[in-house]
Amino acid sequence: HKYVYDFAEGNKDLKDLLGGKGANLAEMTNLGLPVPPGFTITTEACQAYLASGEQPAGLADQIAVHLAALEQGMGRRLGDPDDPLLVSVRSGAKFSMPGMMETVLNVGLNDRSVVGLAAQANGNQRFAWDSYRRLIQMFGKTVCEVPGEEFEHAIDEAKRAKGSADDLDLDADDLRALVDTYKKIFSKHTGREFPQDPREQLDLAIGAVFDSWNAERAVIYRRQERIPADLGTAVNVVAMVFGNLGPDSGTGVAFTRDPASGAQGIYGDYLANAQGEDVVAGIRNTVPLQELERINKAAYDELLDYMARLERHYKDLCDIEFTIERGKLWMLQTRVGKRTAAAAFVIAGQLVDEGLIDLDEALHRVNGAQLAQLMFPRFQLDHGFEAVATGIGASPGAAVGKVVFTSARAVELAGQGEDVILVRRETNPDDLNGMIASKGILTSRGGKTSHAAVVARGMGKTCVSGADALDIDVPRRRFTVAGQTVTEGDVVSIDGTTGKVYLGQVPATPSEVVQYFEGELDPAATDDALVRAVHRIMSHADATRRLTVRTNADTAADAARARRFGAEGIGLCRTEHMFLGDRRELVERLILARDANERDESLAALLPLQRADFVGIFRAMDGQPVTVRLIDPPLHEFLPPLEQLAVDVAVAQERGEDVAKEEALLAAVRRMHEENPMLGLRGVRLGLVIPGLFAMQVRAITEAAVECTRQGVRACPEIMVPLVGAVQELETVRTEAEKIIAEVVGGSDVEVLIGTMIEVPRAALTAGQIAEAAEFFSFGTNDLTQMGWGFSRDDVEGAFFWRYLELGIFGISPFESIDADGIGRLVRIAAEEGRAARPGLKLGVCGEHGGDPDSVHFFHSVGLDYVSCSPFRVPVARLEAGRAAV
């Protein structure tokens, strides 16, 4: 079995086998770029090693063969005392992963070859001893788990003794002494001498890379990111080139475009006389890459040429690591580079302009999560504020407001029109009202799956969690951070994308992407590169997608906004919201009605109000379909809460007041009380139990449609019956509704469809029967998830989902992204059996999953006709529907 590949044998498509780094090193080698020679040990070797605990048969020999070839090519032997070949040992999995072993440089140095290395470098003793101390340090830390601070402490001591802060001021003697100290640290922690045999160094380093696949942090990361646990990592063994040979040497990183804005230009950092890690470690100040032109014009021009070639070859932004050894450029790594959301759109647009990719490919280069990020307001780029703490960017956006420490205070100040930021150590369900009232949430504990994070994302509210530099004192209403005290009412700014926390009011800008969707920015006239790119890509998504995108909207204003955002109809208009406010009293009268007369009176009073609501919505949608859901929640939600009412009545009685009316109300609330209201008297069950309720709504909808039509506005109502589990329920409602519709429509040109939600598992499983009575299905995936898993959405997310996420039971809350295997299967069954029973059955989804990127792809694959989501997510759904179709 072949476990080792020379760089010349691989290519960029072999990431599974060679890891990302190895595959790209091979690709560069074959492009003719100057890559130091080397070879890659495959992920399969790692898998075999991890399975059996020892190197697979033949691996050691294959390494020996490739090492010998490398030695021959370089004209040097590994660790040769007189003229040593040195190598780096670099891990490289298919996906880069925090927590895995990093790189060991200078493998092959020992007490004898360090002398040979100095000779090789024209007697440069300083360089040789610096390289040796680096080996002991990296090898000790990453291969043998010696605490890194001990080495850092020792080098700091040496610098202090020199009276300098710069390691360049340490001379050969200092470094030789440091090597001695390092070796002592090494043997103190490992109980053995630093290994002098070069091949043993190599084998130990390779084994450590393999083992690091199962390091705890790597395991946790994989679970969360759903990276399979059995991929394994590759190991790259690369001949060393040296950036620390003097001022004509150095090392750097470069991007082919600005990864922040996407702008074309030269981006990168360079550090003279330094080796690898120094650039990122921030030991010395780097210079901007442009400076290299002055330092070494030939190498600079060559680098720019390679960068252009790599871009054309990968057809994408690349990032690059390089080293210059005595004036000669070496390429040490490349990959398609990470970028911000804005840069992703801008670059995709540029690449289309440059003819490198087509528009279909551009759709693959961006995603809905990035678009969603761009729709939040954000802090201005050069705001000049210094962050006082950095937590986890748990829910994106830029929020500015006065600090409050309790939910009650948040509600109070927000009620006075203030913007507030709720600051807590961590949040719990009692904080819900405060979270709703706040502009943003800031916690000092917890990660991306803490209560604060999960709930804030659900609300679309900015949240920074786990900013552990904050010392929060709730009783005294203050926190301290970076030596400063912040008390209630002080203004802070939090960035839910970067996790940064600022004191004071950081200037924020509204999203230009939202301005574009709102129609306030003309993409043809603006010089905003981002808006032009978004427009172009969205237009292509619209032209490509098969799914229609509708919105969930209950008011004419929401409907109008959603249309501006590209909605093509309403997939869910909830009618219960129309029963709140001053109409509550009418509903209360309906519920408390003692006889048919009283009930009919209150229904008659509600009818014109409902009709007016629907007229407004039909007008706003002007000919587009509007799915109206008949009343769904349990009626007691429209009554005062039981406990409060009981107390009020008792107090009033005590005072001797006349409480006859309140007592009647209390009796009704008691009567209607349910232990599990979400599984109780709601949805279609209400319609079957409360005479006249659904009839009134059907009449209001149909009359509104007729009225609009008379005024020249086309109305396309679709009446949706919630919570159906059996076809008989739907048939009963349908028979009554059809009579009313026929009577109201009369001769006018109005068509009213009747369909149902599929949100009870039984409905999904009997969809073939239900389709007989339904002209459309709309999947209520929130309830379907709730009832399918047996999770109460309102209770479980903050209570234990964090643990489920931590354990990897699911990678993301099933309320955020549809559980394709389980709940998705119900959707698939219902779609197939429904369509089999009634060809042409219209299928849509109206749960919030309709705006979730992965879910949209799933619904596309199931063959639904549309997804429906809140207005703000409509653009995301449009984009993802387009991406699903290419």
* Selected binder of Mg ion within 333, 493, 627, 756 (CB under 5 A): 333
Contact status: 102 vs ligand ADP (CB under 6 A): yes
Contact status: 63 vs ligand ADP (CB under 6 A): no
Alpha helices in 448-528 (DSSP H): 451-459, 512-517
Place of tokens 């890559």: 35
x-marked contacts with ligand ADP along 510-549 as a string, rule CB under 6 A: ----------------------------------------
Residue 14 in contact with residue 311, Cβ under 8 Å?
no
* Selected binder of ligand ADP within 23, 158, 178, 238 (CB under 6 A): 238
Task: For residue 237, give the nearest of 73, 54, 70 by alpha carbon.
Answer: 70
| Cα distance between the two ends of the chain | 38
Contact status: 241 vs ligand ADP (CB under 6 A): yes
Beta bridge partners of 87: 107, 239
CB of 241 to ligand ADP, least distance (A): 5
CB of 21 to Mg ion, least distance (A): 7
Q: Which two tokens stand for residue 619?
A: 């007008």
Contact status: 202 vs ligand ADP (CB under 6 A): no
Pairing relationship of beta strands 233-239 and 87-93 according to DSSP bridges? antiparallel
Q: Count of residues binding Mg ion (CB under 5 A)?
A: 5
* Selected binder of ligand ADP within 42, 62, 113, 251 (CB under 6 A): 251
The region of 10-18, 98-106, 139-147, 259-267 touching ligand ADP under the rule CB under 6 A is: 98-106
Secondary structure percentages of the chain, helix, strand, coil, to 5: 50, 15, 30
Nearer to ligand ADP, 143 or 238 (CB): 238
Alpha-carbon torsion angle 580, 582, 583, 589, nearest 10: 110
The region of 106-114, 444-452, 599-607, 779-787 touching Mg ion under the rule CB under 5 A is: 779-787
Residue 36 contact, options ligand ADP, Mg ion, none, Cβ 5-8 Å cut-off depending on partner type? ligand ADP
Contact status: 94 vs ligand ADP (CB under 6 A): no
Give catalytic residues, as residue numbers. 451, 846
Contact status: 780 vs Mg ion (CB under 5 A): yes
For residue 42, give the H/E element and its range.
none
CA dist., res. 345 & res. 695, Å (int): 50
Contact status: 834 vs Mg ion (CB under 5 A): no
Residue 88 contact, options Mg ion, ligand ADP, none, Cβ 5-8 Å cut-off depending on partner type? ligand ADP
DSSP class per residue in 244-282: -SSTT-EEEEEEEE-TTT--EEEEEEEEES--TTHHHHT
Enumerate residues 255-314 that contact ligand ADP by CB under 6 A: 276-277
* Selected binder of ligand ADP within 130, 311, 316, 321 (CB under 6 A): 321
* Selected binder of ligand ADP within 10, 36, 393, 683 (CB under 6 A): 36
Contact status: 319 vs Mg ion (CB under 5 A): no
Task: For residue 882, give the nearest of 342, 372, 360, 356 by alpha carbon.
Answer: 360
CB of 766 to Mg ion, least distance (A): 18
Nearer to ligand ADP, 131 or 697 (CB): 131
CB of 236 to ligand ADP, least distance (A): 7
Contact status: 105 vs ligand ADP (CB under 6 A): yes
The region of 29-37, 465-473, 690-698, 781-789 touching Mg ion under the rule CB under 5 A is: 781-789
CA dist., res. 551 & res. 625, Å (int): 11
Indicate the DSSP class of residue 431: G
Pairing relationship of beta strands 77-78 and 87-93 according to DSSP bridges? unpaired
CB of 90 to ligand ADP, least distance (A): 3
Residue 783 contact, options ligand ADP, Mg ion, none, Cβ 5-8 Å cut-off depending on partner type? Mg ion
Residue 780 contact, options Mg ion, ligand ADP, none, Cβ 5-8 Å cut-off depending on partner type? Mg ion
CA dist., res. 795 & res. 288, Å (int): 52
CB of 337 to ligand ADP, least distance (A): 12
Angle formed by the axes of helices 59-74 and 198-212, nearest 10°: 120
Place of tokens 């639904």: 864
Burial (CB count <10 Å: 0-12, 13-18, 19+), residue 61: exposed
φ and ψ of 185, to 5 deg = -60, -45
Tally Cβ neighbours within 10 Å of residue 47. 17
Enumerate residues 324-343 that contact ligand ADP by CB under 6 A: 332-333
Binding site for Mg ion (CB under 5 A): 321, 333, 759, 780, 783
Contact positions vs ligand ADP (CB under 6 A):
36, 88, 90, 102-103, 105, 238-241, 251, 276-277, 321, 323, 332-333
